[in-house]
C-alpha cells in the first residue's frame, strides 16, 4: 500500500481562519497517523489579492499550532510552465481544444439556453473546429456529454453529477494562465497527493477535477468533503460570531494544543472524549468518524478547553508560551524555577495566558503598585504590629516552607486572636497591592523569602508615612 500523502493549499489573501486551520489539521493528523507525508502549497494565482504578508501570517499560524509540513511551501505562481505542459498534452490527446468564442458570445449562449428552460452553459461551438492557439483563445476540456460522474466521498458517501449539466469548462485563460481546477489537479498529481480532505464548499469542483484526472489517464485520489463550521445562528462562521484568525487567538492567550483540541472536535469524534493531548489525537484520529453535519463554533467551549489545557501542562512547558504574554506587558523573564513557581500558583485560576500574565505581573514588579482603596482598607495603623511581627518571623526562618509559614500565621492568630482572613488580607495587599491573588502560602513561596519580607516592610513604611 502506497504511503498516505495529504496537503493543505491555502490562498494567501488574508490570515488563517478557523475553517482553514481545521482543514489543515485534519490532513496533518491523517498523514501523521498513517506515517505518511503532509505537503503545504500556497495557491497564489490570484495575484491581485495575494500578499506576502498573508503568506507570512499563514506560515506563522501553522507553526504556532504545531502543524509542520514535510514538503513545501510550493507556490502556484512558480509552476506555470508545468501547467502549460499538461494543457498541451490534453490538447494533443484530443481531450481539450482551443476556443475563440468571446465572453459576449458565451453569455448569449447561456441566455439562450436559459430561455429554453435549460441550464445556462457553453454550447460547444468550437468543439470540432480544430482551432490552434491565438491571442484571444482559451482552452476548454472536452467533457463527456452523457452519463454521470460519481464522487465517492469518504465523508458524504456517493454524490452523482450528470455530465450533461457540465459544459466544456475553461482550463486555460486567453492570457495563457491555468484555471483553478486545472492547476489544482496538476499540483496534486505531480506532488503525489492521494488523499484530499477539504471543505464541502469544494464539492462542486470535484467532478470537474475528476474529469481532468480521467482525461490524463491518472489515478484518482480519495476525496473527503467535511461540512463547514457555522456560527450559533447556523450561518457561515465569521467575525460577528466571535471567531477570529488563528493569530489573534495566540495573542488572546490561547494555547496551541487547546486550539488543536477544539478544532478537531469541530467535525470529528472519538466516543464521548472531549479532551485530547496532541499525541493522543495522532494515535486516535481517523476518517471514519468525520461528521456529516455542520459543527457550531462556541467560543465559551474553546475558553473552557483552554483552561483545562493550561491546568494540564507542566509549568516548564507552559512557560514558553507564558513568557510571550509577559513580554507583551513589558516584563522580561526567563523560563526558570521562579517563573515556573509563579505559573503553578496561577494555573488553576487562569482561563487564558493573558489572564495568567496579568495575574502574575505583581511577582515581577520592583515596587508594588498599591490599589488606593485596598491600601486604605487593609494597610492601616491597626495592623502595623501584626505586619512587623510577621516580617520579623518570616525573616528569621531557617527553612522557608509552607509548614513554617503556616506556623508563623498560627502564632500570630494565637497572639492576636484574629481569624486567618484578618491576617491574610493585609499580607495579600502588602505583597500584590490588591485584594486578589493566588493562595497566600503558595504565593509567598513562589515570591521567595527575601522579596516577601521586603514587600511587607514596604507596606509598613507606607502605613507609617501616611499615619
Cell numbers representing residue 171 in the block? 482550463
DSSP letters of 85-154? HHHHHHHHTTSEEEE---HHHHHHHHHHHHHTTSPP----TTTTS-----TT-EEEE---SSSEEEEEET
- Kindly give the interhelix angle for 449-466 and 420-432, rounded to the nearest 10 degrees: 90
State the DSSP code for 252: T
Cα 399 to chain centroid, rounded: 46
DSSP letters of 42-63? E----TTT--HHHHHHHHHHHH
Residue with grid cell 511551501, as numbered in its chain? 73
Which active-site residues does the annotation give?
A: 239
State the DSSP code for 226: E
Please state, in angstroms and as integers, the Cα–Cα distance from residue 9 to each residue in 70, 204, 211, 418, 419, following that order. Answer: 14, 17, 21, 66, 63
Q: Measuring CA to CA, which residue among 295, 153, 151 is closest to residue 225?
A: 153
CA 321 to CA 279: how far, in whole Å? Answer: 19
Whole-number CA gyration radius for the chain: 32
CA 152 to CA 139: how far, in whole Å? Answer: 28
- Kindly give the interhelix angle for 440-447 and 449-466, rounded to the nearest 10 degrees: 110
Question: Of all helices (H) and strands (E), which one includes residue 358?
Answer: helix 353-364
3-state DSSP call for residue 352? Answer: coil
CA 326 to CA 376: how far, in whole Å? Answer: 29
Residues 6+ apart with CB under 8 A from 318: 255, 310, 343, 347, 353
Amino acid at each position: 500500500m502506497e504511503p498516505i500523502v495529504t496537503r493543505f493549499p491555502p490562498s494567501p489573501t488574508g490570515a488563517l481562519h478557523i475553517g482553514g486551520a481545521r482543514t489543515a489539521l485534519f490532513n496533518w493528523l491523517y498523514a501523521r497517523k498513517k506515517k505518511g507525508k503532509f505537503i503545504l502549497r500556497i495557491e497564489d494565482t490570484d495575484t491581485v489579492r495575494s500578499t506576502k504578508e498573508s503568506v507570512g501570517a499563514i506560515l506563522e499560524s501553522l507553526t504556532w499550532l504545531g502543524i509542520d509540513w514535510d514538503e513545501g511551501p510550493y507556490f502556484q505562481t512558480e509552476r506555470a510552465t508545468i501547467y502549460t505542459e499538461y494543457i498541451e498534452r490534453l490538447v494533443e490527446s484530443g481531450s481539450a481544444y482551443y476556443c475563440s468564442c468571446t465572453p459576449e458570445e458565451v453569455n448569449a449562449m447561456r441566455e439562450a439556453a436559459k430561455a429554453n428552460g435549460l441550464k445556462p452553459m457553453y454550447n460547444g461551438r468550437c468543439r470540432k473546429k480544430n482551432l490552434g492557439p491565438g491571442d484571444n483563445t482559451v482552452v476548454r476540456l472536452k467533457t463527456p456529454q452523457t452519463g454521470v460522474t460519481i464522487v465517492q466521498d469518504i465523508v458524504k458517501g456517493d454524490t452523482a453529477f450528470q455530465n450533461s449539466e457540465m459544459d466544456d469548462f475553461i482550463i486555460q485563460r486567453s492570457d495563457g494562465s491555468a484555471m483553478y481546477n486545472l492547476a489544482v489537479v496538476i499540483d496534486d498529481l505531480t506532488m503525489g497527493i492521494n488523499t484530499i480532505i477539504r471543505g464541502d464548499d469544494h464539492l462542486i469542483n470535484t467532478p470537474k477535477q475528476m474529469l481532468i484526472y480521467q482525461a490524463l489517464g491518472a489515478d484518482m485520489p480519495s476525496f473527503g468533503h467535511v461540512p463547514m463550521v457555522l456560527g450559533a445562528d447556523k450561518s457561515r462562521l465569521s467575525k460577528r460570531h466571535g471567531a477570529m484568525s488563528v493569530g489573534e487567538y495566540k495573542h488572546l492567550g490561547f494555547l496551541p494544543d487547546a486550539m488543536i483540541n477544539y478544532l478537531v472536535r469541530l467535525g470529528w469524534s472519538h466516543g464521548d472524549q472531549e479532551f485530547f493531548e496532541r499525541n493522543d489525537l495522532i494515535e486516535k484520529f481517523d476518517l471514519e468518524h468525520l461528521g456529516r453535519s455542520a459543527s457550531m463554533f462556541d467560543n465559551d467551549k474553546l475558553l473552557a478547553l483552554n483552561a483545562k489545557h493550561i491546568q494540564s501542562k507542566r509549568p516548564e512547558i507552559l512557560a514558553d508560551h507564558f513568557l510571550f504574554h509577559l513580554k507583551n506587558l513589558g516584563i522580561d523573564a526567563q523560563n526558570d524555577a521562579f517563573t515556573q513557581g509563579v505559573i503553578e500558583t496561577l494555573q488553576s485560576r487562569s482561563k487564558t495566558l493573558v489572564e495568567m500574565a496579568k495575574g502574575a505581573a505583581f511577582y515581577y514588579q520592583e515596587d508594588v503598585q498599591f490599589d488606593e482603596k485596598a491600601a486604605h482598607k487593609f494597610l492601616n495603623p491597626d495592623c502595623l504590629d501584626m505586619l512587623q511581627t510577621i516580617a520579623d518571623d518570616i525573616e528569621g526562618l531557617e527553612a522557608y516552607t509552607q509548614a513554617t509559614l503556616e506556623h508563623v500565621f498560627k502564632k500570630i492568630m494565637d497572639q492576636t486572636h484574629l481569624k486567618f482572613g484578618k491576617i491574610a488580607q493585609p499580607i495579600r495587599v502588602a505583597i500584590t497591592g490588591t485584594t486578589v491573588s493566588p493562595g497566600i502560602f503558595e504565593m509567598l513561596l513562589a515570591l521567595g523569602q527575601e522579596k516577601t519580607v521586603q514587600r511587607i516592610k514596604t507596606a509598613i513604611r507606607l502605613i507609617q508615612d501616611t499615619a
